[in-house]
Structures are given as structure tokens and as C-alpha cells.
């Protein structure tokens, strides 16, 4: 079941099939913008080179739309390792929320394993890719063109919430808002909701560059010339953000080498964790 939604739009179950057929016949031309970018690259150069060689310097929904149009697998096709290692801990009877789903690599993995997915992103081009693949494979994915601040789920709690590559591009105020939303969307208990999260740490080489050349915007948080935000977590600081959760997995260190499109190889100092609401 595939559905493209506006940020606050409520759609009944009985109308979904008709809207799905209509969207496939007419195509989707919806565009919605937000001041919050979905994800951004490292501070040095602060750019992303697509497969065609185009460079994306400003991380807005429009620039991501352009990048996704140029490069089908901008962030890769394989799901995050932390997800493939721990997805069986999720309760299959409840859906999973993928924040900043991009072109769907993590959403596809879980949907192919039987989960219903709410896939959220600011890029309509990325969500069109997600919807197209989901329709072809008959995956139960509903797409949402919005950010986490405006998102209103049809039902909660979620079995799990994926937060990959998001914290590092948020201000501390936005991180605080995100944590409050997580409390609204998750539930405690023996089958409590899981949160999968990754973030940059102060050990990343881009931290020194941002501290030197960008404007301070809070503790280990900086704003670049184009308004982009980069926030870094100190060692063990992730634990302070999730004090009402049990730690199922946590790792900090140098992440694997990867590329964005045809850009140069990158490696980042990261923290990754799986938490369970308790």
C-alpha cells in the first residue's frame, strides 16, 4: 500500500486504494519545503558530488531533489549495518518510522521482512523512488513529505524509529524537540519501542574545521555560511539523550569508508546505538 501525504493530511483507510491508483496515473508533482535539511555532509567543503559531477552546496529539499535525480543510489543501496544486526528485536505487529528515509534503503530492508513502514523525508524525488519500488514489490510503505516537527502519525506507538544521520544536522533546540516527539511515538514495556540512532562525535575530523571556520551555535554545534548546522556529540553523550531507555547496543569509533554518489571516500567518527523504551 503506497501513499504520498502532505504534512498534516489525514486520509482514511477506505480512500487509500483510490488515491494510490490516481497517483500512479497522474504522477506526483507535490513540492513542500522546510527550513530543516534532511541530512548534510562533512564540514570540509560542505558539498556533495553526484554521479553526473554536479556539486550540491546548500542542503535544502530542492538541492536534494536535484541530487537524487542525478544519482539513483546517493546514499547507497545496502541497509545500515546496525539495522541488519538488530532488526529482529523489533515487534513485527507494529509499524516502523524511518526519519529521513532518503531513497529507502532501510525502509526497503524492513518492509521486505514483513514490516509496515512510515517513510518520512523532505525530498519529493526521493519519496517517489520509495513509492515506485514499494508499488512494484507490493511493500507496505506509506511515504510522508514532511519533517519530524510537523509529522502526525495515524497511530502509535511504533515498534521502532530509525534516526540515521539526523542528529548531526540539528540544533540542540531541535534535538530536544525530537526527543519529545520520540516519547510521544514510542511505548515502554517488555515489548517497548526501539530507537536506532547514529550521530557524529567530536572525534570526527570535521569537528575541528567547524569549530575554526563556522559560527558557534551551542555546545559543539556550529552554523556554516549557508545556514547548515553541524552538531557533534561528546563521548558517551548519547546516553544522556536517552535516559529513559535501556541500552541494547552502543558503539563509538571510526565508521566504514563510504561514498556519496561519485564523491571522494569518506569516514566519520560516529556513535551508533539501539535503545529500548523502558
Is 258 within the bounds of a domain?
Answer: yes
Q: What is the model's pLDDT at position 256?
A: 87
- The Cβ of residue 175 has, within 10 Å, a number of other Cβ atoms equal to 19
Half-sphere exposure at residue 203, Cβ-oriented, CA atoms within 13 angstroms: 13
Region 139-162: what's the mean pLDDT?
96
pLDDT at 143: 97
Q: How far apart are CA 83 and CA 184, in angstroms?
A: 22
Given pLDDT bands bounded at 50, 70 and 90, which one contains residue 154? very high
Position 266 pLDDT exceeds 80: yes
SS3 163: strand
Query: How does the average pLDDT of the chain come out, rounded?
Result: 81
**In the block, residue with C-alpha cell 516519547:** 183
Q: What is the pLDDT confidence band of residue 4, given thresholds at 50, 70 and 90?
A: very low
| Structural domain harbouring 138 | 37-277
- pLDDT greater than 70 at residue 239: yes
Main-chain dihedrals φ then ψ at residue 69, nearest 5 degrees: -65, -35
d(CA 245, CA 166): 19
- pLDDT for the residue numbered 25: 32
Q: Are 269 and 255 in contact (CB under 8 A)?
A: yes
Q: Please, are residues 273 and 81 in contact by the beta-carbon 8 Å criterion? A: no
Query: Quick check: is 16 in a domain?
Result: no
Q: Residue 238 is inside which H or E element, if any?
A: helix 237-241
Q: What is the pLDDT of residue 63?
A: 67
Please tell me the predicted confidence (pLDDT) of residue 124: 92
Q: What is the pLDDT of residues 167-184, one digit of tens each?
A: 999 999 999 999 999 999
Tell me the C-alpha distance between 131 and 144, whole Å.
10
**In contact, 38 and 64? CB cutoff 8 Å:** yes
Residue 137 DSSP class: H
- Predicted pLDDT of residue 28: 34
Say which range, 49-53, 58-62, 111-115, 193-197, has the weakest mean pLDDT: 49-53
Does residue 12 form part of some domain?
no
How far apart CA 24 and CA 59 sit, in angstroms, is 29
DSSP state of 121: E
Rg (CA), the chain: 18
DSSP secondary structure string for all residues of 171-233: -HHHHHHHHHHHHHH---STTPPEEEEEEEBTTSHHHHHHHHHSEE-STTEEE-TTS-EEE-B
**What pLDDT is stored for residue 264 in this prediction?**
84
Confidence of residue 58 (pLDDT cuts 50, 70, 90): low
Which has the higher per-residue pLDDT, 96 or 63? 96
- Residue 33, pLDDT score: 29
- 252 assigned to some structural domain: yes
**Residues in contact with 190: Cβ distance below 8 Å, sequence separation at least 6, in sequence order:** none
The answer to whether residue 57 scores a pLDDT higher than 50 is no
173 is a domain residue: yes
Instruction: Judge whether 71 lies within some domain.
Output: yes
Q: Is the pLDDT of residue 31 over 70?
A: no
28 vs 117: which has the higher pLDDT? 117
Closest CA to 75 of 137, 126, 136: 126
Phi-psi category of residue 126: left, alpha or beta, with phi > 0 → left and psi -120 to 50 → alpha: alpha
Domain with 52 in it: what CATH number?
3.40.50.150
Mean pLDDT of 21-43: 34
**In this predicted structure, what is the pLDDT of residue 2?**
44
Q: How many domains does the chain have?
A: 1
Q: For residue 28, count other CB atoms closer than 10 A to its CB.
A: 15
pLDDT at 190: 86
Q: What is the pLDDT of residue 50?
A: 44
Amino acid at each position: 500500500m503506497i501513499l504520498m501525504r502532505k504534512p498534516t493530511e489525514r486520509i482514511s483507510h477506505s480512500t487509500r486504494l483510490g488515491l494510490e491508483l490516481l497517483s500512479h496515473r497522474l504522477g506526483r508533482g507535490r513540492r513542500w519545503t522546510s527550513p530543516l535539511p534532511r541530512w548534510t555532509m562533512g564540514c570540509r567543503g560542505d558539498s556533495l558530488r553526484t554521479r553526473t559531477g554536479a556539486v550540491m552546496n546548500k542542503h535544502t529539499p530542492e538541492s536534494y531533489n536535484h541530487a537524487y535525480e542525478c544519482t539513483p543510489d546517493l546514499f547507497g543501496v545496502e541497509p545500515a549495518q546496525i539495522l541488519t544486526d538488530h532488526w529482529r528485536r523489533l515487534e513485527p505487529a507494529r509499524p516502523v518510522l524511518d526519519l529521513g528515509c532518503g531513497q529507502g534503503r532501510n525502509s526497503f530492508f524492513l518492509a521486505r521482512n514483513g514490516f509496515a513502514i512510515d517513510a518520512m523525508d523532505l525530498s519529493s524525488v526521493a519519496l517517489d523512488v520509495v513509492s515506485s519500488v514499494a508499488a512494484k514489490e507490493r511493500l507496505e510503505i506509506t511515504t510522508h513529505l514532511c519533517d519530524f516537527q510537523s509529522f502526525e502519525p495515524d497511530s502509535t506507538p511504533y515498534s521502532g524509529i530509525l534516526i540515521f544521520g539526523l542528529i548531526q544536522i540539528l540544533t540542540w533546540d531541535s534535538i530536544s524537540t525530537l526527543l519529545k516527539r520520540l516519547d510521544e511515538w514510542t511505548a515502554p514495556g517488555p515489548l517497548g519501542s526501539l530507537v536506532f540512532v547514529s550521530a557524529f562525535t567530536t572525534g570526527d575530523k570535521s569537528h575541528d574545521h567547524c569549530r575554526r571556520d563556522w559560527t558557534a551555535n551551542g555546545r559543539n554545534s556550529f552554523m556554516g555560511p549557508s545556514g547548515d548546522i553541524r552538531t557533534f556529540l561528546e563521548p558517551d553523550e548519547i546516553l544522556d539523550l536517552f535516559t529513559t531507555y535501556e541500552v541494547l547496543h552502543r558503539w563509538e569509533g571510526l565508521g566504514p569508508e563510504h561514498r556519496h554518489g561519485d564523491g571522494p571516500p569518506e569516514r566519520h567518527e560516529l556513535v551508533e546505538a539501539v535503545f529500548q523504551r523502558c
